[in-house]
Amino acid sequence: GESVGLHLPTLSVQEGDNSIINCAYSNSASDYFIWYKQESGKGPQFIIDIRSNMDKRQGQRVTVLLNKTVKHLSLQIAATQPGDSAVYFCAEDGGSNYKLTFGKGTLLTVNP
Amino acid sequence: SQTIHQWPATLVQPVGSPLSLECTVEGTSNPNLYWYRQAAGRGLQLLFYSVGIGQISSEVPQNLSASRPQDRQFILSSKKLLLSDSGFYLCAWSVGHTNEQFFGPGTRLTVL
């Protein structure tokens, strides 16, 4: 079956560096993608989303890039801070109006 | 603004006992509601979703059931818990045909 996956399960960066978290998806019907941040013991928190008619979207310190040709999604965090330490999940809609399929997650650790 | 509540926050139950987890949403009408389970260090597995009162879609056949007795109330139940039911249970909501889902704080269930 088609799935969403991540290239790197863990990522460790120094405070102030930029972070890049990658995600591969295989469902060509996916039209909508979201990145979530989940801190330990808490529910996932929406970070940023992007639709398939775009290839880049920027938020506050975060940028999502979508490459539909190779079915790749990335989350870039500028000037990473200790508070950014969390597990980051990508999710795709698989063409559904209601459901999301989540990737396995990447643990980001920011070293002071 | 919209808020989502889950209770209890933590629960320890013996094998074979019943389960009832509750989720309520405030500040929106006719939300789509979702139950996910997250095993330790893993991604999110969609268990059930509902697009209206009394309507339940099951994603994974298992020991659990869901009900939606009111527009903004979603309940996850089991008649007899198994050890494998342990995990972090998350409720989420979305509106209309958008897939942007917002998560509750979660319930940590330990079955002994």
Encode pLDDT of A41-96 as tens digits: 999 999 999 999 999 999 999 999 999 999 999 999 999 999 999 999 999 998 88
The pLDDT, as a whole number, for residue A2 is 39
Q: A45 with A37: CB under 8 angstroms?
A: yes
Cα separation of A37 and A105, whole Å?
A: 9
Strands A106-111 and A10-14: parallel
> Which pLDDT does position A3 carry in this prediction?
46
Q: Is B101 on the interface with A (CB under 8 A)?
A: yes
Cα of A8 to nearest chain B Cα, Å: 14
Contact residues, chain A, for B106 at CB < 8 Å: 41-43
Q: What is the mean pLDDT of chain B?
A: 93
User: Residue A51 CB: number of other CB atoms within 10 A?
Assistant: 11
Contacts of A105 in chain B (CB under 8 A): 42-43
Residues A10, A16, A18, A21, Cα dihedral to 10°: 20
Percentage of residues in chain A having pLDDT higher than 90 = 79
Q: Residue type for A93, please?
A: D
How many angstroms away from the CA of B32 is the closest CA of chain A? 8
| For residue B61, pLDDT beyond 80 | no
Query: What confidence score (pLDDT) does residue A4 get?
Result: 56
φ, ψ of residue B12 to 5 degrees: the values are -120, 120
